Structure 1
Amino acid sequence: MSLKPKRVDFTTTWADLKETVKGVVTLGNVPHTIWYNRFSDVYSLCVAYPEPLAEKLYQETKKFLEEHVKSLFIQVNGTSEEQLLTVYYTLWQQYSQGMDYLHKLYSYLNTQHIKKQKASDAELLYGTLSYESPEQMKEIGELGLDLWKKYMIEPLKADLLRLLLGGIHCDRTGQSLYNEKSSTIQGVIQSFVSVEEYKKKNTLELYEAVFEGPFLEATGEYYKQEASRLLQECTISLYMEKVLQRRDEEDLRSRKFLHPSSYSKVRSECEKRMVADHLAAIHNECPTMVQQELQQDLRNAYALLKSIPGGLTVLVSHVMEHIKQQGLRTVTNLSGDNIAVQFVEGMLSVHSKYKEITNTVFSNDQLFSSALDMACAAVVNHRFNTKQNCRSPELLAKYCDTLLKKSTKGGSDTEVDDKLTQCITVFKYIDDKDVYQAFYSRKLAHRLISQLSQSMDAEEAMINRLKQACGYEFTNKLHRMFTDMSVSSDLNNKFNLLNKDRMIELGLNFSIYVLQTGAWPRQVCPTDFAVPQELEKSVQEFEDFYRLQFNGRKLAWLHHLSYGELKLNYLKKRYFITMGTFQMAMLLVFQETNSVTCGELMEATKLNSDQFQKVLQSLVDSKLLAVTSDTVEVFQPSTVISLNMDYSNKRTKFRINNTIQKETVQETETTHSSVNEDRKMYLQATIVRIMKSRKILRHMVLIQEVLSQSQPRFAPPIGMIKKCIETLIDKQYLERTPNSTDEYSYVA
């Protein structure tokens, strides 16, 4: 074949080409030789000399295709209604395949003539031109599809739509469609998409206008009637199951017949008619489902309501209120000695139960997770008496104390570790975390000083958990308490080595803990105390040693927290008893005598009346001492106290509880009072820090900033913040601006 332009007889060439075009479009038998020769004919016409004949070729081809499609339309239109879809789809398959071949045959015309005349993709996508412009030429494949739309789909669209909707309706109502008819319906619907796939934009315009819009309307009407029928026949529980079943069936039907762009629209229409239009009926059933914890019904309700805007609001509120009520019922009216255990483990059981429901029933939806958190927070921070402080921080601290201190009933290390990890769940819900910190600090101090910790590793692990939850600042003092214990151990070693070098004999095993005032809970010895003669030398030697080690530091002895081990030699058996220093001092008075009066005992120990009564009562209760006179509530100075020479115990080594260290109501109130003072200082520091950076702030903005920064530690009352602002104004850290009494400025 020569590529050189030459004169071409259009009539003759077109006559031959037309026959081939007819054979290609109808999928006839076109020999390979003729097929390749027609490529040459198309090329020759496009580059003909002296005038290219491409335009004429395009027009003749268009005319032929128009006549061909019109003839196919007559063929389809003449068939019976039962066969119309089948004939249409058969001819469409033939025609669309033929147009693919024809498009390839005309490839030179498409690429070298038509594409150069067409607008660019950018103009079509973002400009004002469209394929429907009369002057806009189309490539041969596009032309064939456009003619099919114009002369086949447009005239038949009403009949096609009616038959398509009828076929899909039969499928909905359970009338089985044979596979061939199903594929025909799908193919006809797909033809509405395929004829415009060549377009750069609005490729689904015909599909949406001819089929999707009416189909969605018909779908909505069908499910509107279906919903009304089901509501009359079924309970809400069964209705929800039926709706989910219908929705799933419709999803499968969409994938069976429709274009993917319609899937979500069909589901939305189904949900709108069967759920959104009857939202009140489902919402009215929510209280029953939630109260009875009907998990399958709740799962169905969630599945239906989650896609409706605002549909879950009512269900979420009922779930939150139910969890709150269950929690309050669990932690209300607790009694006995283990209230802390009942509270924490009861709260954890409620949280665990509804966390599981949230995960399995509500697919861990954020709305329900937040509802669980808010409900648990409301229970944990609930005040059964508005005039009293919330007890949750104190109870949680006591629960942690029971896990961390030595106990014969303690579980394995793994069990304890798991329970301590779960404690953080309750801790995160506590608003007044600083109150928990205060009580936890007191309990930790007691465990460390009395050597009651079950495991130092468990202690440190718990503090690390608290640090992860609230930050290093929250646990700073707790870490310093551990540091003091380590430093004290080193001090004892140095003290013992120094005594050994100086050949000083103390006559007993003596060890101390030196505790920083700022790190440990505030402690003041509640009474004067005369150190027993047996301890005087040890105390004095250590003070001298400490003064040499740390010049300028002052030691304040906390004898009420100290303890010692006393060996009893006056009985049939020897006993080794660990007791508080006050108790030990009182027993040491009996070294020289078997009986003394209370007045003499008080004079020897220098204890005040209140502490004397408590310490003496503890020794009488333990039966180490006996009262010779009748039992009275208060020991009188003349009351004679004597050693119980008949004392016996199965154990030869044991501990007597130090009653002074037991938590009392007064000490609990003291802890809360201390926390309140700390809060005032914290708020004042926060206000100064905010004002220093912002310089000028309005009252409400400052309040909001303080609330935001205080939230991790506690929820301060607005009144407390206002008082702190007034205090800072009095201290001249802040001042009201001249322009407004509602605005503050920082005084540099």
Structure 2
Amino acid sequence: MSLKPKKVEFDEIWRRLRCVLEKVITLQKVERAEWNTSFSDVYMLCVAQPEPLADRLYSEAKHFLESHVQEMLTSKVLAEHDATNANNTNSRPDLLERYYTTWMVYSQGSKFVNQLFIYLNQQHIKKQKITDSESFYGSLSNDAAEQMEIGELALDIWRLYMLENLALELVRHILEGIAADRASNGALDSHRVEVIHGVIHSFVEVQEYKKTGSLKLYQELFEGPMLEASGAYYTNEANKLLQRCSVSQYMQEVIKILEYESRRAQKFLHESSLPKLRKQCEEKFINDRLGFIYSECRDMVSDERRQDLRNMYIVLKPIPDNLKSELIQTFLEHIKNEGLETVYALKGENIHIAFVENMLKVHHKYQELIADVFENDSLFLSALDKACASVINRRPSERQPCRSAEYVAKYCDTLLKKSKTCEAEIDQKLTNNITIFKYIEDKDVYQKFYSRLLAKRLIHEQSQSMDAEEGMINRLKQACGYEFTNKLHRMFTDISVSTDLNNKFNNHLKDHDIDLGINLSIKVLQAGAWPLGSTQVIPFAVPQEFEKSIKMFEDYYHNLFSGRKLTWLHHMCHGELKLSHLKKAYIVTMQTYQMAIILLFETCDTLSCREIQNTLQLNDETFQKHMQPMIESKLLNTSSENLSGDTRIELNLDYTNKRTKFKISSALQKETPQEVEHTINSVDEDRKLFLQAAIVRIMKARKVLKHNALIQEVLSLSKVSFTPNIAMIKKCVESLIDKQYIERTANSGDEYSYMA
């Protein structure tokens, strides 16, 4: 057959095409030759001479489809319905099935019809389709706008003649079917489920060709009534549950209903309706019943009824965060109360150990509970953080400072000192300790205490392991940054440099064949890096046994480093002294002042307190602190309990000890209340300097700034180390005004300007 355009007889070709269309739309068998000829017929009509007959073909196809759908409505869908109604037989379910069967045939047939008219679609209809801009500006006629592809036309005719006549009846039958499925707990016949599902989805498929608004018909015809009917059902079911269930039982039932409704929605509805139906279910069963659900919340939390709390979380999880606030706040208060009970009224020397380990137990307990019950929800983890921070940073009273930073620092000190604990256990405990450290607001207080305790460990060589010490500092650096641990690193550097310096000094002595008579180990420490308190020299006449060694080291050091000044801190020195005047020899570790006192008894057995003080040039306080431990250890005897100037001190020649090597503890190594207070006071001074420096940096960058803006920027800069009170910031501002770093602007009382 020639495809060359020519004059054709439309009526003759249309009769052949109509015959094929009737078979195709009803899914009857069509011979291949007849099918292929039909494609040629469509082509010939579209390119006919002298004028194409495409518009007429489109019109006839449209008329055919309209007649076919109307005929199916009356003969296949409604005929049996009317007949059975005449016999008073309830056939509503049959209507759904007849509609479904008819739709399945028609929808499949319309696809084949669309293929048959593919040339008309592509070469005639698509070329005339208006663009979005043309539709918006109305540049084409209404006739052009009405034309659509044949497959789309078939679906639109179905909507117009079938759905608009049956929609209300179909939706009513569908809702009854869904209600029946609910009543049977999801046991509805599988074929019935397939029919209802197919009918519902026909509302979507009939407009799937649309680029926008393809779900509009589905939403208007079915989704709205379905959600309304479901809402009424949920309200009724919720009321029934409230009458017969406790809160615990109610939550269990709601979880089951939510699960069943989710499965039912997947079984019947279009996916776009799933979240809407879920929201409707949550609204009626949860949001509208929050008062009832929360009525036992406090008891569930206080008793830690995990299953009930898990169910409550599952029930409340989908609702907005602000509606879950009561559960979260109750949980927060419960953790806070338990934390306060755990650490309240702790006493004794090991209060720091009890404080940290008790808080770690509380934290671990509720962290595990949140993982098990609340699926590690960030809101509950945040509540845990707030509760722990509240307990850890709680002040006993307004006048008393919070001591948590001190306790945590001392806990680290206990772990890092020499003990029988294995390194793996120490490392784990130090890692856990960081958990508590992160909650501390006054991290600068912790830094102060930690650096002082670290200094004592390094100077007196009490560290369990230098690797453990460095590991702890690295953890602090990760938590707070390099600036926080800068001085701690410098302390380690000094110890390393001092070790190297001692080796060089010993080699120098060997090279010059010099014998000092004593073994000497000296630590040279930078004054700015070490928290050694006041470096004011305490009056002390160095025993002649030490003079040569000290003089030799000073000369050696000044030759290496000219211009540097050495200040001897004898109160921080210690050494080992061998006692040979007793029945057996003892090696005793003691402070330098104590060694000097014992050495005075080389030539005599008895001395008065006044003689000892005058010889060593010790003040009363230093003498008392160092003499008392020696008397308590019974190395020396005293004529009276009070150490006055005339009190006689004599060497105990009958001293015995089971251990041949021991240490005399000194009161100086124990933390005194005065030292704690001094540390806290030094923190306050450092804070003032930090705030003043921060204000100057901010004002230098901003030049002019409002008071409130300045306060906010200072708070932002200082929050890493501490949270200053507003009064302290104001005092620092006033101090800087007095020092003429900044000034108040002339025309504003709450604005400052930087003075260059």
TM-score, scaled to structure 1:
0.97
The equivalent residue for 2:57 is: 57
Q: Which moved more, 1:683-692 or 1:483-492?
A: 483-492
Could you say if the C-alpha distance between residues 480 and 670 of structure 1 is closer, same or farther in structure 2, counting changes exceeding 3 Å? same
Matched, 1:678 2:686: yes
Q: What is residue 195 of structure 1 aligned with on the other side?
A: 206
Alignment counterpart, residue 100 of structure 1, candidates 95, 111, 122: 111
Matched, 1:372 2:384: yes
TM-fit CA distance, 1:324: 1.0
1:645 aligns with 2:645: no
Q: Work out whether residues 691 and 714 of structure 2, in 8 Å CA contact, stay in contact via their aligned partners in 1.
A: yes
> What pairs up with 1:123-142 in 2 under 5 angstroms?
135-142=145-152
2:36 aligns with 36
| Residues 185-224 of structure 1 mapped to structure 2, 5 A cutoff | 185-224=196-235
Q: Mapping of 1:570-719 within 5 angstroms?
A: 570-627=581-638, 629-630=639-640, 632=641, 634-719=642-727
CA distance in 1, matches of 2:113, 2:61: 10
Partner of residue 416, structure 2: 404
**Residue by residue, what CA displacement relative to the aligned partner does 1:2-42 show, whole Å, maximum 9, x if unpaired?**
11012211111111111110000001111111111111111
Compute the displacement of 1:402 (Å).
0.5
2:729 is aligned, of 711, 721, 725, to 721
Q: SS state of the match for residue 428, structure 2?
A: helix
Is it true that 1:161 corresponds to 2:171 in the alignment?
A: yes
Contact 1:190–1:258 (8 Å) recurs in 2? yes
The residue type paired with residue 76 of structure 1 is V
The alpha-carbon deviation at position 552 of structure 1 amounts to 2.1
Q: 1:452 aligns with which of 428, 445, 462?
A: 462
1:123 positional shift: 5.2
Q: Displacement of 1:127 after TM fit?
A: 6.9
The residue aligned with 1:244 is 255
Q: Which moved more, 1:192-201 or 1:44-53?
A: 44-53
Task: Tell me if the contact between 1:529 and 1:607 (Cα under 8 Å) persists in the aligned partners.
Answer: yes
SS at match of 1:429: coil
- 1:415-434 correspondence to structure 2 within 5 Å: 415-434=425-444
* Structure 2 partner of 1:313: 325
Alignment equivalent of 1:555, drawn from 540, 543, 566: 566
The answer to whether the 8 A contact 1:121-1:200 is kept is no
- Corresponding residue number in structure 2 for 1:739: 747
Q: Please tell me whether the aligned partners of residues 5 and 47 of structure 2 are also in contact (alpha carbons under 8 angstroms).
A: yes
Find the aligned partners of 1:688 and 1:61 in 2 and give their Cα distance. 86
Equivalent residue for 2:276, pick from 216, 241, 265: 265
Distance in 1 (alpha carbons) for counterparts of 2:460 and 2:141: 91
* Matched residue SS, 2:650: strand
TM-fit CA distance, 1:68: 0.7
Residue equivalent to 1:440: 450
Per-residue deviation, residues 539-564 of structure 1 (Å, max 9, x unmatched): 12212222222222221111111001
Secondary structure of 1:647's match? coil
Q: CA deviation at 1:121?
A: 5.7
Alignment of 1:387-536 (within 5 A): 387-408=399-420, 410=421, 412-523=422-533, 524=535, 527-536=538-547
What is the Cα-based RMSD across aligned positions, in Å? 1.7
Q: Which whole-Å deviations, capped at 9, do the CAs of 1:313-368 have from their partners, x for residues lacking one?
A: 11111111111111111111112221111000111111111112222222222221
Provide Cα deviations, 1:119-146, integer angstroms capped at 9, x if missing partner.
136656x777999988420111001100
- Aligned partners of 1:99, 1:234: CA distance in 2, in Å? 54
| Distance in structure 2 (CA, Å) of the matches to 1:267 and 1:425 | 40
The aligned length equals 742
CA–CA separation in structure 1 for the residues paired with 2:551 and 2:306: 72
Code of the aligned partner of 1:734: I
Q: 1:132 to 1:294 in 2, by over 3 A?
A: farther
Give secondary structure in 2 for the equivalent of 1:607: coil
Q: Secondary structure at the match of 1:697?
A: strand
Match of 2:87 in 1: none
Offset of residue 497 of structure 1:
2.3
Instruction: From the superposition, tell whether residues 368 and 122 of structure 1 become closer, same or farther in structure 2 (CA, over 3 Å).
Output: farther
Query: For the residues of structure 2 that align with 1:264 and 1:606, how far apart are their CA atoms?
Result: 88
Matched, 1:351 2:344: no
CA distance in 1 between counterparts of 2:452 and 2:277 reads 64
Structure 1 residues 135 and 395 mapped into 2: Cα distance closer, same or farther (>3 Å)? closer
**Paired amino acid for 1:397:** A
What is the distance in 2 between the residues matched to 1:308 and 1:131?
A: 50
CA distance in 2 between partners of 1:50 and 1:299 (Å): 79
SS at match of 1:578: strand
TM-score of the superposed pair, with normalisation by structure 2: 0.96
**Cα deviations across residues 391-419 of structure 1 (Å, max 9, x unaligned)?**
001000100001001023x2x21111111
Counterparts of 2:347 and 2:392, CA distance in 1: 17
Identity among equivalent positions (%) equals: 55
Per-residue CA deviations over 1:298-319 (Å, capped at 9, x if unaligned) read: 2222222232222111111111
Quote the residue 1:20 is aligned against: 20
Q: Deviation per CA, 1:640-666: give whole Å up to 9, x if none.
A: 222222222222122221222211000
Q: Distance in 1 between matches of 2:398 and 2:360?
A: 24
Which amino acid in the other structure matches residue 34 of structure 1?
E
Which residues of structure 2 form unaligned runs of 5+? 82-90
Query: 1:86 Cα shift?
Result: 0.7
C-alpha contact (below 8 Å) 1:118/1:136 kept by paired residues:
no
Partner residue of 2:126 out of 105, 112, 115: 115
Tell me how far apart the structure 2 counterparts of residues 89 and 273 of structure 1 sit (CA, whole Å). 33
Secondary structure of 1:712's counterpart equals: coil
Whole-Å separation in 2 of the counterparts to 1:338 and 1:559: 30
8 Å Cα contact 2:129-2:145 kept in structure 1: no
Distance in 2, matches of 1:320 and 1:639, equals 62
Work out the CA distance in 1 between the residues paired with 2:255 and 2:667. Answer: 66
Secondary structure of 1:311's counterpart equals: helix
- Asked if residue 180 in structure 1 is aligned to residue 191 in structure 2, the reply is yes
Contact 1:331 1:347 (C-alpha < 8 Å) held by counterparts: yes
One-letter amino acid of the structure 1 residue matched with residue 9 of structure 2: D
After superposition, what is the alpha-carbon deviation per residue over 1:75-97, rounded to whole angstroms, capped at 9, x for unaligned? 21123323111111011000011
Quote the Cα distance in structure 1 between the aligned partners of 2:22 and 2:400.
97
SS at match of 2:753: strand
Residues in 2 aligned to 1:173 and 1:553: alpha-carbon distance in whole angstroms: 94
SS where residue 735 of structure 1 aligns?
A: strand
Partner AA of 1:73 in structure 2: L
Q: Give distance in 2, aligned partners of 1:153 and 1:132.
A: 24
Q: Which residue of 2 aligns with 1:384?
A: 396
Q: Residue 705 of structure 2 aligns to a residue in which SS? A: strand
* Map of 2:47 onto structure 1: 47
Change in 2 beyond 3 A, CA 1:174/1:128: farther
Secondary structure at the aligned position of 1:744 is classed as strand
Deviation per CA, 1:669-724, whole angstroms, max 9, x where unpaired? 00011111111111110000000000011111111111110000111111111111
Once residues 580 and 696 of structure 1 are traced to their aligned partners in structure 2, the CA distance between those partners, rounded to angstroms, is: 57
SS in 2 for 1:576: strand
Contact 1:526 1:560 (C-alpha < 8 Å) held by counterparts:
no
User: Which residue identity does 1:344 align to in structure 2?
Assistant: V
CA distance in 1, matches of 2:626, 2:537: 13
Structure 2: distance between partners of 1:141 and 1:2: 28
**Residues 1:129 and 1:98: Cα distance change in structure 2 (over 3 Å):** farther
Aligned residues of 2:130 and 2:145 also touching (Cα < 8 A): no
Equivalent residue for 1:330? 342
Quote the offset at 1:385 in angstroms.
Answer: 2.4
Aligned counterpart, 2:10:
10
